[in-house]
Amino acid sequence: MLRIRVLHGPNLNLLGSREQSIYGSLSLDAVDSAITKLADELAVKVDLRQSNSEGELVTWIQEARSEYDGIIINPAAYTHTSVAIRDAIAAVGLPTVEVHLSNIHQREEFRHRSYVSGVAIGQISGLGSTGYLLALRGLHDHLIASRRGKNTPAQSRSRRTAKGRK
């Protein structure tokens, strides 16, 4: 059974009440229920966690190395500031998908830069809570393809990068 850790960063505990026009009206519990339902359908074991603390997120990423096959993370505001979260993802080397409810590229300039995207296999931004479900499907397919030794776009990309090509 595939095992995926899902991490929500700071202020995402306020989903449903926080800036609804940007982040939607679903609570974090409702988002997590939808993720769990799809995970059951895909026969994936998911572990869902939220923290307002950068250090706690780093620890959970590090711990995932031995217990999980991949990570889905919405680093929230830490996306734009945290070298520590980026380094943790790079260190564990687990396939990671970055999710944002809002389209960070359409918002303020300071949200356009993500420290995480360079170490993620992909980023989903702007599709609301559906983004988590797409991330789960995408990561599931990526992990299955990896197990079978097949190429996914992310794998071909990292192979090209390793050979020094863009």
Q: How far is the CB of 161 from ligand DQA (least distance, A)?
A: 25
Would you give the DSSP letter of residue 69? S
Stretch that binds ligand DQA, among 26-34, 96-104, 133-141, 153-161 (CB under 6 A): 96-104
Report the distance separating Cα 57 and Cα 34, nearest Å: 22
Selected binder of ligand DQA within 46, 54, 72, 74 (CB under 6 A)? 74
Q: How far is the CB of 76 from ligand DQA (least distance, A)?
A: 3
Catalytic residue from among 8, 68, 78, 100: 100
**72 near ligand DQA, rule: CB under 6 A:** no
**30 near ligand DQA, rule: CB under 6 A:** no
Quote helix, strand, coil % in the chain, to nearest 5: 55, 15, 30
Grouping H, G, I as helix, E, B as strand and the rest as coil, residue 34 is helix
In the annotation, is 100 catalytic? yes
Residues 79 and 99: beta-carbon distance below 8 Å: no
**114 near ligand DQA, rule: CB under 6 A:** no
Number of neighbours of residue 106 by Cβ within 10 angstroms:
10
**101 near ligand DQA, rule: CB under 6 A:** yes
In the annotation, is 105 catalytic? no
**111 near ligand DQA, rule: CB under 6 A:** yes
Strands (E), 106-149: 122-125
C-alpha count within 13 angstroms, C-beta hemisphere, residue 46: 27
Report the distance separating Cα 11 and Cα 151, nearest Å: 36
Selected binder of ligand DQA within 2, 3, 11, 26 (CB under 6 A)? 11
Query: Which residues have a catalytic role annotated?
Result: 23, 100
Binding site for ligand DQA (CB under 6 A): 11, 74, 76-77, 79, 100-102, 104, 111
